[in-house]
Chain A
């Protein structure tokens, strides 16, 4: 059942996301084209076009990120909290699968947007020389890293960073979902309450990070254990961050689940 929910959610979001990526890549291509033309033909019009297409490209870069975030949150709201909820919540599936289907799709598109933005940046910078020129630099960088750190450690650090990025994205989306689900359990002012709950969550997390987080970093930094195990200090901090994201994700997931199951209040 989850796979069917995912299939339909991808269908619902792809019709926006794919055109966004197309526009992004097209604006990168145009910007790159006028960059070349303006340097080859020193005409005033070309310089203006170069400026305009570069500006459009920057807007497209920022816009793609915003569209991704807003669409993923809007889908959760529209599909579950408005009239469409009558269809979705009477499907023979569980609330857990309904949440995960939105979450997985949101994560996949977020990664895809980052990939599309990289691709667009490469296109916009594209002369073959710049791209090919990067490869020896990257190889050099890797050599320098491996000279200082064992390769195994580098891979472990990379895995931890990837885990943190994924878990942080998860927390970010779940915080929106939890605020929306909580706010819409009330009879009135649903959207206003959702916004207030979101702000409330942010404040609480900020307080936790400022007190417990900093305290944790200080005690790790002062611990004499790490004097003899230098690699472990960074691992402890990275894994600690990952665990923090995992716990906050779990809390927001539970809030969302509980509210959709027990306090659903469709208009």
Chain B
């Protein structure tokens, strides 16, 4: 069964249409890129999968279930915004994740924190924006989830951290889990992607395995993206 499946998924914000009849199926064991320019509907799709938004029409299922308490156990979600409470220390956040997520691997989180030289006693409000994003990503990637939904995971961090994050994502990859990465920074992630969806103005405009793009079209995902989304001069 597909881990994530959309059927004619449509979402309106008032009169503005954010998603327009999206059909997507994501199988386990894959790292999938959800690629599109700003405002293309990537975040809306991910928010619906997390139960943060209700679709206007169509369906989205996670392992066959509509978003709800059961699907939230399966998904590890990195939103594009920092959601951590400023008053909390990293240690308190680890307690929080241990309490709510049985699949949270505290040892793995502590290992990554020390690798990125983050002091667990530090409070979130004392941290720079980039450090907050690192902490958030560590928390999300330390779960042994079925589906990782990462919304712009590398947007605000330096290239060295970017490399570390990408290696972390690959090391979490396993046959039962799938990783969905939404981004417009394609060059940085394209080497780890198995499959891509190009999304524009709420529609899936292209979907393909990365190997096919390279073999049949003879170019990188980044090049293809620039071509598909080229603006008229």
Contacts and interface: CB of A to CB of B under 8 A. Distances in A.
Interface of A: 1, 4, 7-8, 11-12, 15, 79, 83-87, 89-94, 187, 261-267
Interface of B: 13-14, 47, 50-54, 69-70, 72-73, 75, 77, 79, 81-85, 87, 92, 96, 99-101
A264 B99 contact: no
B69 A262 contact: no
Contact of A262 (B13, B54, B79): B54
B100 A4 contact: yes
Given A1-B100, A86-B77, A261-B54, 10 more contacts: A4-B99, A84-B85, A89-B50, A89-B51, A89-B52, A92-B72, A92-B73, A92-B101, A187-B14, A264-B54
Contacts of A83: 79, 81-83
B13 A8 contact: no
Contacts of B70: 92
Contacts of B87: 12, 15
A13 B73 CA distance: 27
Contacts of A7: 99
A90 B72 contact: yes
A91 B72 CA distance: 6
Contact of B99 (A8, A15, A85): A8
Contact of B79 (A8, A86, A91, A265): A86
A87 B139 CA distance: 11
A265 B54 CA distance: 10
Q: Which of A12, A85, A90 has the most chain B CB atoms closer than 10 A to its own CB?
A: A90
Contacts of A92: 69-70, 72-73, 100-101
A230 to B, nearest CB: 52
B52 A87 contact: no
A11 B126 CA distance: 19
Nearest to B149: A90
A87 B13 contact: no
A184 B87 CA distance: 24
A83 B133 CA distance: 13
A145 B101 CA distance: 55
A85 B75 CA distance: 16
A35 to B, nearest CB: 37
Contact of B69 (A8, A86, A94): A94
B96 to A, nearest CB: 6
25 contacts: A1-B100, A8-B96, A8-B99, A11-B92, A83-B79, A83-B82, A83-B83, A84-B83, A86-B79, A87-B84, A89-B50, A89-B52, A90-B72, A90-B75, A92-B70, A92-B72, A92-B100, A93-B69, A93-B100, A94-B69, A187-B13, A261-B54, A263-B54, A264-B53, A267-B81
